[in-house]
Structure 1
Amino acid sequence: MILAAIDIGSNAVRLQINRPITYDGVTIFKKLQYIRFPLRLGSDVFENNQIGDEKFREFVKLMQAFKNMIDLYQVDEYYACATSAMREADNGNALVQAVKAACDLDINIISGDLEAELINRVIAFNLQTEEQYLHIDVGGGSTELTIYHGEEKVISKSFPIGTVRLLKKSEHLDTWDEMLLWIQEHKGKGSHFNAIGTGGNIRKLYELTNKEKGKYIGIKKLEEELHILKNMPYEERIVNLKLNEDRADVIIPASEIYITIMKKAGAKKIMVPDVGLKDGIISYLYDKNVLNKKI
């Protein structure tokens, strides 16, 4: 069996193709292909409430290329989902229909709650019982927060605060207040959260400050790295830090979001597992096809 996930974010679009392999009772997901294309849909949407003509055409071409990859790998089932930018775009549904007509690829514009649910499918195995966790997933257009007690999910909420949105200065102060109040209300008096972070920016911050994946970044390290990034010209971040052009700008607002949330949550460090929405989609497809489970 071969499964594919397409994650259509506000800052980039990703395709991942996996083959599940089970041996001696253990299943792993062998990665056959991974493509990340820097098509920033959010730059149009968070400024003009719609996807512009140029990005509209580029997106259709990109989906045609992804559909060709899916066909070449003889994928048994795929799931393509679009998040914050296409949720808010006035012409998001028109773009879905244009892709369907061009290459017969189905795209699902999903809610923030479903986005969080898919990501959370691959988070629980990193958690320990009896601990209280706040999972923070920062994207280009939204931030998904989920609270766990041990491996059990308690509650989650999506907030329209994201890296591309901040660059476009289209966020609202009352949204920040709402998010921080939500954290405070669920933290409990005198308690704190253990933080766990997903998203391309927190993984890149981990690479800049550490060597091994799957461990932690201390909040002081994050603050030190943010100070360095803010005092480094954009071009220098690309040349000296080897950041992609579409990462070199959003990594600063991403750092600010993670740090702000961690401070409110009382978290001194954040765990950074190497998983994301695309992995949650693959997990969902596997459970659906092999275990006959649904979301």
Structure 2
Amino acid sequence: MKLAAIDIGSNAIRLQIVTVFEEAHMVSFKKLEYLRFPLRLGHDVFKKGKITPATESQFKKLMQTFKLLIELYQVKNYYAVATSAMREASNGELIRKKTKSEVGLDINIINGRKEANILNKAIIPNLEDENYIHIDVGGGSTELNVFRGKKLIKSQSFKIGSVRKLSEKDRKVTVDAMQKWSLKAFPKKAKNIIGIGTGGNINKLFKIANKTKTNVIGLAELKALRAYVKAYSNRDRIKILKMNPDRADVIVPASDIYI
């Protein structure tokens, strides 16, 4: 059986197609296709409150491309989600309806809680009897989830991301709110809180760290990585650090949120 997933984010849009293998007590996947296109919906929405006609035209062409790939691979079922940029766009719902009628793709515009729930399905099986805070930094929002073992205790979405430009004052207010929420989410006696980072920026930082024997990065090391990347110009991040152009200009703001 072949399945597909479409992730319509603020900084990029992705399609993944897999073959699913079902056995007695296990389900496994083999990736057939992965496509990431740097269409930055958040650039429009977080400045103008809507998706502009030029960006909408590109979006339609991209959805037509995804639809064609889904048909060529003979996918049995797909699930398409759109997050903060499209849910905040004044014309997001209209574009969703037009995509369904003109392209034939059904998009689900989801809220921050639903976004976190989808991510948690992948995270929870790997959790042990510890205290965790899951931090997912996207282009337009950051989702925080607190776990005790495999049990989700609290979750909250904040309007801060790598693409969303906030004034220094608004950024400080939002970061302070995140920190206060995080402190209140755990019992006062909680110890050894483990952070789980997800998102393209933390994945890139991990690759730069060149970890081969562990999947752990300490806070001091994360701060050092952030300083290392910031020392490069955007051009050198692309040329020397091998970043995509749409990653080079957002990785430092994203790092600040994780830290």
Scaled by the length of structure 2, what TM-score is found?
Answer: 0.95
Aligned residues: 258
Whether 1:154 and 2:153 are equivalent positions in the alignment is yes
Q: Deviations over 1:180-232 (max 9, x none)?
A: 11101112225342101110110100000023387111111111111122221
Q: Partners of 1:45 and 1:169 in 2: how far apart?
A: 19
Structure 1 runs (4+) deviating above 6 angstroms are 167-170
Gaps of 5+ in 1: 260-295
Amino acid at match of 1:240: I
C-alpha RMSD of matched pairs (Å): 1.7
- What SS class does the counterpart of residue 216 from structure 1 fall into? coil
Q: Which residue of 1 is the match for residue 183 of structure 2? A: 184
Judged with a 3 Å threshold, the aligned counterparts in structure 2 of structure 1 residues 169 and 90 are, in CA distance, closer, same or farther, namely farther
Amino acid at match of 2:251: I
Q: Which residue of 2 is the match for residue 277 of structure 1? A: none
Q: Which residue of 2 is the match for residue 249 of structure 1? A: 249
Judged with a 3 Å threshold, the aligned counterparts in structure 2 of structure 1 residues 5 and 168 are, in CA distance, closer, same or farther, namely farther
Q: Which residue of 2 is the match for residue 86 of structure 1? A: 86
The CA deviation at 1:172 is 4.5
The CA deviation at 1:174 is 2.8
Judged with a 3 Å threshold, the aligned counterparts in structure 2 of structure 1 residues 187 and 166 are, in CA distance, closer, same or farther, namely farther
Q: Partners of 2:92 and 2:153 in 1: how far apart?
A: 31
Whether 1:59 and 2:59 are equivalent positions in the alignment is yes
Question: Higher mean Cα deviation, 94-103 or 137-146?
Answer: 94-103
Judged with a 3 Å threshold, the aligned counterparts in structure 2 of structure 1 residues 116 and 214 are, in CA distance, closer, same or farther, namely farther
Judged with a 3 Å threshold, the aligned counterparts in structure 2 of structure 1 residues 39 and 169 are, in CA distance, closer, same or farther, namely farther
- What SS class does the counterpart of residue 6 from structure 1 fall into? strand
Question: Higher mean Cα deviation, 57-66 or 99-108?
Answer: 99-108
Q: Partners of 1:218 and 1:210 in 2: how far apart?
A: 14
- What SS class does the counterpart of residue 101 from structure 1 fall into? helix
Q: Which residue of 2 is the match for residue 11 of structure 1? A: 11
Q: Partners of 2:113 and 2:4 in 1: how far apart?
A: 21
Judged with a 3 Å threshold, the aligned counterparts in structure 2 of structure 1 residues 25 and 214 are, in CA distance, closer, same or farther, namely farther
- What SS class does the counterpart of residue 21 from structure 1 fall into? strand
Judged with a 3 Å threshold, the aligned counterparts in structure 2 of structure 1 residues 254 and 213 are, in CA distance, closer, same or farther, namely farther
Amino acid at match of 1:186: A
Matches for 1:1-295 after TM superposition, within 5 Å: 1-23=1-23, 25-129=25-129, 131-166=130-165, 172-192=171-191, 193-212=193-212, 215-259=215-259
Is the 1:167–1:250 Cα contact (8 Å) retained in structure 2? no
Is the 1:138–1:198 Cα contact (8 Å) retained in structure 2? yes
Q: Partners of 1:38 and 1:247 in 2: how far apart?
A: 9
Q: Partners of 2:169 and 2:102 in 1: how far apart?
A: 32
Is the 1:46–1:170 Cα contact (8 Å) retained in structure 2? no
Is the 2:7–2:15 Cα contact (8 Å) retained in structure 1? yes
- What SS class does the counterpart of residue 5 from structure 2 fall into? strand
The CA deviation at 1:247 is 0.3
Q: Partners of 1:9 and 1:170 in 2: how far apart?
A: 25
Is the 1:80–1:106 Cα contact (8 Å) retained in structure 2? yes
Gaps of 5+ in 2: none
- What SS class does the counterpart of residue 197 from structure 2 fall into? strand
Q: Partners of 1:170 and 1:53 in 2: how far apart?
A: 32
Q: Partners of 1:24 and 1:213 in 2: how far apart?
A: 31
Is the 1:237–1:243 Cα contact (8 Å) retained in structure 2? yes
